[in-house]
Structure 1
Amino acid sequence: MSYQPLLMSFDEAAELRTHLNTDSLLGRSIATEVAALEAYLPIGIEIPGHGEAGGYEHNRHKQNYIHLDLAGRLYLITEDERYLEYAKTMLVEYAKVYTSFELNTSRDSNPPGRIFHQTLNENMWMLYASCAYSCIRHKLTDDEIILIENDLFRPMIDLFVDTYAHDFDIVHNHGLWAVAGVGICGYAINDQASVDKALYGLKGDSVSGGFIAQLTQLFSPDGYYMEGPYYHRFSLRPIYLFAEAIERRQPEIGIYELKDQVIKTTTYAVMSTAFPNGVLPALNDSSKTMDIKDEGVLIATSVCFKRYSQDDNLKSMAVHQDKVWVHGSGAALSDGVANAGELAGFNWGSLYLTDGAEGDRGGVSILRHRDVNKDDTMALLWFGQHGSDHKLHSALDHGHYDGLHLSLFNHGQEVTHDYGFGRWVNVEPKFGGRYIPENKSYAKQTVAHNTVVVDGKSQNNGDTATAEARWGESHFFVAGEQAQGMSAFIRDYYQGVDQQRSVIMFEIEGIAKPVVLDLFRLTSEQPHSYDYVMHYTGQIIRTDFDYQTESKLKPLGESAGYEHLWNVASGKVEQGSLVSWLHGQSYYSMVSSAQGGEVIFARTGANDPDFNLRSEPVIMLRQHGTNHLFANLYETHGYFNEAIEASTDARGQVASVTVLAHTDDASAVALELTSGKVVRVFVSNKVGVNADTESSLVVDGECVSFKGEFFIEQ
């Protein structure tokens, strides 16, 4: 038989069949998909009309393509005739009505399809439906083939390639879905002309558009994607599904070797940004819950293992995912896990990923530390380019104004966190499941992130075009065993203000977890108000300063996101401050050097009449001046278990943090422990610093010199 399914040959399906009813990772994965399809079959086939984004009709069309794809693949594996009949009937019924549908009503600036309110969803429908069609085509009559291809798939291709030609060649994650959908559909119906458009773009130059252009232009040399991990993982599905189809139909292209294996590089980039619990960091418009169990990452894990490297991290990820892609590559990964013995949790180590197609537009740095109990501590510093492109329609503006954002993680949870996007995904009563208005007025604004706000305004005046013209620059990145550090600059995000953030993670004898020292330095010739913002989860346990609670709540400000923050309490501090809180079973303390300033306790929810925002606490350290160095020490300590009435070490061991000096050459701070021990930390502020750089500054009348990016004196 000459025609073969796109992603799974008949021989491969027969091999997967041997895993039915087994307890292997693949066997359980097949059983999970069979159960999902069996639960959906009794609902019957319904082809609804148009509806609100996130509403019933939208979700029914989505569930239809998901289960259509399942039916096609599982028919090949199980040979259950019910699955064949279901997939065939679904395709025929859509073919009968598709061209009779008028274009839907667009709910944003993304053009509408005939089924969905935006073409992105229609691209996804076509991709999955085409995969299902290729699984059952050999069982269809000539009349059924003609109906499905001429009245469903070819009109779909025409819609995307001709009607929306201006969007087809967009080098963006939406463009990825468009070219992958058309390319896979072209393969499924033996339309090589459409495949070529999908591969090489409408001009056929592999530069102005098409899959090759997407792969060679979207990602930095380190594989990072400007929109951040949330949209990055979304791009993996079309990349891998189309790449697998290309490799099987046109292996001479060598798609998996393109641009020094860019598919592998970009996959490892998104995998390696994940927190130790698998959740992806919320950079730019991002969910707070999206993790490596996402279908795109799941597929990528299996294919990377089969086509690139039998990496232990991939095996550990598969254990975390508790599933593999039901595919030949998933079978290989399942066998790899079965033969691996005991696997530790995945650990990509400390790393620095550049941003921008040439790797010259800032990036993201990550420090990781695994202790003897295999608990992971992680710190992430973001300073890349704005996550959008205003040349495209505004729906693609996913950028946030949060240069030098910091996220911390340990004990299986985020310690400080980003708010993420303002959106209730597919919750139709909440603005149709789309981005809520507060996404712009709060979530995108600088105050919604763990960085410093200057004069109560957002970075780059909250303007996309201005933000796109600027990006951060790496200062240093040092990975080590007992001590490691990262540092970056952003300049002129506020006119006349330069900002530098240096984060040092290191061990102190007698403290169970590594401490994280955060030095945020601001320099300006003019006086400003500086707000160091920190978002956390948990219950305040204690402070070492007096504060006054507000009997009548008022917003902290009138714009730039401050209008959405209730001023809950505040207190003046003269000699630094300490705030401790409880989250889960851990205590956390933030010990700050800020003298003569103010500590503000705030909470999201002001000017939010529809209760669109999550109610979350915020701590703000406010200072006034020209040059200022925020020196904050984060300590994890103690244990709490209410069920057994246990609480230990609720008070941390770091008593105070003092700034000794800070100049253009270096900064120095002292950490005083409750034992009386003093730890001094010196950090170079010199541009271009490396391990051989000499830095010096005067501390208490003494000139202190040190070599390298930073030096810790214990």
Structure 2
Amino acid sequence: MSYQPLLMNFEEAAELRKTLGTDTLLGNALARDIAQTDAYMADVGIEVPGHGEGGGYEHNRHKQNYIHMDLAGRLFLITEDSKYRDYIVDMLIAYATIYPTIESNVSLDSNPPGKLFHQTLNENMWMLYASCAYSCIYHTLSDAQKQQIEDDLLKQMIEMFVVTYGHDFDIIHNHGLWAVAAVGICGYAINDQASVDKALYGLKMDKVSGGFLAQLDQLFSPDGYYMEGPYYHRFSLRPIYLFAEAIERRQPEIGIYEFNNSVIKTTSYSVFKTAFPDGTLPALNDSSKTISINDEGVIMATSVCYHRYEQTDTLLGMANHQQNVWVHIAGKTLSDAVDAADEIKPFNWGSLFVTDGPKGEKGGVSILRHRDSQDDDTMALIWFGQHGSDHQYHSALDHGHYDGLHLSVFNRGQEVLHDYGFGRWVNVEPKFGGRYIPENKSYCKQTVSHNTVTVDQKTQNKFNTALAETKFGQNHFFKADDDTLQGMSGRISDYYDGVDMQRSVLLAEIEEFEKTLVIDIYRIKADAEHQYDLPVHHSGQIMRTDFDYQVESKLKPLGADNGYQHLWRVGSGKVDNGSLVSWLHGNSYYSMVSSATQDSEVIFARLGATDPDFNLRSEPAFILRQTGQDHVFASVLETHGYFNESIEASVGARGLVESVTVVGDNEVGTVISIHTTTGNTYLYGISNQAEAAQAGAHSVTFAGESYTWTGAFAAL
């Protein structure tokens, strides 16, 4: 028999059959898929609904149909149970019967509609998975069945994507990835090499203007980062791996897994390496707060990277965290390795800087990680890449946020300083049809919704996408070779007219502290005086401060626009010599101790103002507000203590950091001082010089005291 299923040949299916009923990652995945598919077949059967809105009943039924056809296809090959084959045949025939006669659905946004769904993206996904299922049963079908399914369904779908909507087929974008993967996989499934070639090389067949190879060449930075951020990046991994596996099996001479310096591996690792220690992905640009390395695309990537690229302990740690593998021969390789391992440690990708931009020239994301003796990981991330939108490719590529120099922090199993993520109730039809809510623009994308400085209550780059697309940050320094003191720094220029900013973050392991200190030095150079707001978005309850504050008896928004209209002013207090704000989150206490200039203010806020449809989550924040021309915010985040209400335990509710002071700042360097309740003082110097001068010696004098150090930063 010359025809083989696309993603799993008959010999591989026989190998997977041996794992049925075993207590392994693959055996458990198979048991789950069998239970899920059997239940769906019994409860729903063959139902082909009509049109519906995004996220509505019809939408979800079409989606569940393709998901379960795909599962049934692999289960048929593995179990050899004909009920799965019969289910796919009946479903595909049912769709083929109605598809030629139905009109296009109705689109409520800029994406063109399909016949089944409100946008062609979902139709691409349907065809891709249906084609995978079709390839699993192809060898069992009569010629008449093949003709009906191909002529009345699959070929008509290809015609829609490459002809009717040909102007969108070659877009370099995550939607474009799904389009080319769907057409390519369908082409392989129905033996239509002409369609496969269009999917591989683009409609012009030039390998540049479109097609899968152009996507792999142009979508990612040299470090594999995708400009729209991890949320849309992980969504792109599924079509990449599904199509790559089909290509490798049908046209191995292309060498798809080695293409462009093994970009498939590089871009997968970029997603893996940005994950927080609990596996969730950071919210950069439009992002769900719940997406993690348990996502289907990341599970595929973990399995295939281990099977085809390298077999590392870190990938074993990822798989052990996921407690899942792809039901595929690659998943079996990984599952067997996990089963055979004596010990698997939690995954840890270490500290790293990941470049953004097609040539790695447009800033990026810096990540510092520190694992302590209790195997608890502290992770700090600052973002200063390009805006996550680029209309030179397509109007749909519009997920960028105005968040240059945003800071996120994670430890003790939770995100401590966080990003709101996107404003969207995915597939919840009453909430704006499950699409992006208006507040995504009016709050979530605005600078004040991020942990970075806003100037005069405005948003970076005037909330102008075209302007923002011309800007990007620069790496100032990154050094992580000493686990006791690591540092990273980024710069942005003219995100506000006449204002340059530099943010430097250190992770300092100091013996008297329970946890690594996160030291944040935010330096601003301006050509005029401004109001500077540094928001701190956290979770949990405020425990104490070291300054007096007043709580508002009547709530009012903090401003009229730029996201401030969505923040209630809950309370505020004046500070002169610094501030301490401490809060309880989960079982841990956190204290943010900050420097302050004369007549500064701390504002306590809560999200939810000017929100008539209750679209936004109610979350707390506080804002460090200071005025001046050139300015430095210096803060230390200390993790301390333990709280357990069930046993009435509260230990270490007060931290050790008493004050943080900016000793001095000039073009050579910035020096800060951290004073503790135990009488100790810790000094740190940060280089403000260009990269070429950072490695050398630095000498500064402030208030008659001289400070010297070597390198980009140092403990003095």
Report the TM-score, using the length of structure 1 for normalisation. 0.99
Asked if structure 2 preserves the Cα contact closer than 8 Å seen for 1:689 and 1:709, the reply is no
In structure 1, the partner of 2:361 is 360
Asked if structure 2 preserves the Cα contact closer than 8 Å seen for 1:476 and 1:689, the reply is no
Say what the alpha-carbon RMSD is for the aligned residues: 0.8
Alpha-carbon distance, 1:640 to partner: 0.5
Match of 2:686 among 680, 683, 686: 683
Alpha-carbon distance, 1:391 to partner: 3.5
In structure 2, the partner of 1:298 is 299
Alpha-carbon distance, 1:703 to partner: 2.5
Q: Deviations over 1:240-272 (max 9, x none)?
A: 000000000000000000011000000001100
In structure 2, the partner of 1:589 is 591
Whole-angstrom CA distance in 1 between matches of 2:657 and 2:624 = 19
Alpha-carbon distance, 1:392 to partner: 4.8
Whole-angstrom CA distance in 1 between matches of 2:288 and 2:137 = 36
Given the alignment of the two structures, is residue 396 of structure 1 paired with residue 397 of structure 2, yes or no?
Answer: yes
In structure 2, the partner of 1:705 is 708
Whole-angstrom CA distance in 1 between matches of 2:274 and 2:322 = 16
In structure 1, the partner of 2:443 is 442
Identity over aligned residues, as a percent? 67
In structure 2, the partner of 1:270 is 271
In structure 2, the partner of 1:624 is 627
Whole-angstrom CA distance in 1 between matches of 2:698 and 2:174 = 44
Match of 2:529 among 502, 507, 527: 527
- 1:656-671 to 2 correspondences below 5 Å: 656-671=659-674
Gaps of 5+ in 2: none
Whole-angstrom CA distance in 1 between matches of 2:77 and 2:360 = 44
Whole-angstrom CA distance in 1 between matches of 2:703 and 2:494 = 32
Whole-angstrom CA distance in 2 between matches of 1:67 and 1:620 = 48
Whole-angstrom CA distance in 1 between matches of 2:575 and 2:184 = 62
Whole-angstrom CA distance in 2 between matches of 1:383 and 1:497 = 15
Alpha-carbon distance, 1:106 to partner: 0.7
In structure 2, the partner of 1:418 is 419
Comparing 393-402 and 205-214, the one that deviates more: 393-402
Alpha-carbon distance, 1:695 to partner: 1.8
Q: Deviations over 1:473-517 (max 9, x none)?
A: 000000021000000100000000000000011111210110011
Q: Deviations over 1:32-74 (max 9, x none)?
A: 1111101211111111111111000000000010001011110
In structure 2, the partner of 1:18 is 18
Alpha-carbon distance, 1:690 to partner: 6.0
- 1:462-501 to 2 correspondences below 5 Å: 462-479=463-480, 480-501=482-503
Given the alignment of the two structures, is residue 609 of structure 1 paired with residue 617 of structure 2, yes or no?
Answer: no
Task: Count residues in correspondence.
Answer: 713
Whole-angstrom CA distance in 2 between matches of 1:551 and 1:689 = 54
Asked if structure 2 preserves the Cα contact closer than 8 Å seen for 1:476 and 1:690, the reply is no
Alpha-carbon distance, 1:689 to partner: 4.8
Whole-angstrom CA distance in 1 between matches of 2:237 and 2:316 = 18
Given the alignment of the two structures, is residue 652 of structure 1 paired with residue 650 of structure 2, yes or no?
Answer: no
In structure 2, the partner of 1:453 is 454
Whole-angstrom CA distance in 1 between matches of 2:502 and 2:695 = 21
Given the alignment of the two structures, is residue 161 of structure 1 paired with residue 162 of structure 2, yes or no?
Answer: yes
Asked if structure 1 preserves the Cα contact closer than 8 Å seen for 2:687 and 2:694, the reply is no
Match of 2:675 among 672, 677, 680: 672
Residue identity in the other structure for 2:364: G
In structure 2, the partner of 1:346 is 347
Asked if structure 1 preserves the Cα contact closer than 8 Å seen for 2:171 and 2:394, the reply is no
Q: Deviations over 1:147-200 (max 9, x none)?
A: 000000000000000011111000110000000000000000000000000000
Q: Deviations over 1:296-338 (max 9, x none)?
A: 0000000000000001111111111111100000000001111
SS in 2 for 1:303: helix
SS in 1 for 2:691: coil
Asked if structure 2 preserves the Cα contact closer than 8 Å seen for 1:582 and 1:588, the reply is yes
- 1:65-214 to 2 correspondences below 5 Å: 65-214=66-215
Alpha-carbon distance, 1:283 to partner: 0.3
In structure 2, the partner of 1:574 is 576
SS in 2 for 1:348: coil
In structure 1, the partner of 2:35 is 35
Whole-angstrom CA distance in 1 between matches of 2:99 and 2:321 = 40
Q: Deviations over 1:59-101 (max 9, x none)?
A: 0000010001011110110111111110110011001111211
Whole-angstrom CA distance in 1 between matches of 2:54 and 2:238 = 22
Whole-angstrom CA distance in 2 between matches of 1:687 and 1:545 = 38
Asked if structure 2 preserves the Cα contact closer than 8 Å seen for 1:177 and 1:238, the reply is yes
Q: Deviations over 1:362-393 (max 9, x none)?
A: 00000000011100000001000011122455
Whole-angstrom CA distance in 1 between matches of 2:429 and 2:83 = 33
In structure 2, the partner of 1:641 is 644
Whole-angstrom CA distance in 2 between matches of 1:590 and 1:693 = 32
Gaps of 5+ in 1: none
Check 1:345–1:690 CA distance in 2 against 1; reply closer, same or farther (3 A cut).
farther
Whole-angstrom CA distance in 1 between matches of 2:592 and 2:155 = 60
SS in 2 for 1:115: coil
Asked if structure 2 preserves the Cα contact closer than 8 Å seen for 1:579 and 1:591, the reply is yes
Whole-angstrom CA distance in 1 between matches of 2:259 and 2:505 = 36
Whole-angstrom CA distance in 2 between matches of 1:696 and 1:8 = 64
Residue identity in the other structure for 2:652: D
In structure 2, the partner of 1:561 is 563
Residue identity in the other structure for 2:696: T
Alpha-carbon distance, 1:574 to partner: 1.0
Whole-angstrom CA distance in 1 between matches of 2:489 and 2:696 = 15
Report the TM-score, using the length of structure 2 for normalisation. 0.99
Whole-angstrom CA distance in 2 between matches of 1:189 and 1:690 = 61
Whole-angstrom CA distance in 2 between matches of 1:68 and 1:693 = 63
Whole-angstrom CA distance in 1 between matches of 2:499 and 2:715 = 28
Q: Deviations over 1:646-675 (max 9, x none)?
A: 110000000000110011110001000000
Whole-angstrom CA distance in 2 between matches of 1:534 and 1:108 = 34
SS in 2 for 1:116: coil
Alpha-carbon distance, 1:621 to partner: 0.5
Residue identity in the other structure for 2:601: E
Whole-angstrom CA distance in 2 between matches of 1:120 and 1:526 = 48
Asked if structure 2 preserves the Cα contact closer than 8 Å seen for 1:475 and 1:689, the reply is no
Whole-angstrom CA distance in 2 between matches of 1:285 and 1:321 = 24
In structure 1, the partner of 2:217 is 216
Q: Deviations over 1:116-165 (max 9, x none)?
A: 00010000000000000000011111111000000000000000000111
Whole-angstrom CA distance in 2 between matches of 1:15 and 1:649 = 55
Whole-angstrom CA distance in 1 between matches of 2:695 and 2:296 = 45
Residue identity in the other structure for 1:684: S
Whole-angstrom CA distance in 1 between matches of 2:15 and 2:510 = 54
Alpha-carbon distance, 1:522 to partner: 0.7
In structure 2, the partner of 1:509 is 511
Asked if structure 2 preserves the Cα contact closer than 8 Å seen for 1:593 and 1:659, the reply is yes
SS in 2 for 1:6: coil
Asked if structure 1 preserves the Cα contact closer than 8 Å seen for 2:493 and 2:499, the reply is yes
In structure 1, the partner of 2:229 is 228
Q: Deviations over 1:403-425 (max 9, x none)?
A: 00000000000010000000000
Residue identity in the other structure for 2:632: L
Residue identity in the other structure for 2:672: V
Asked if structure 2 preserves the Cα contact closer than 8 Å seen for 1:110 and 1:393, the reply is no
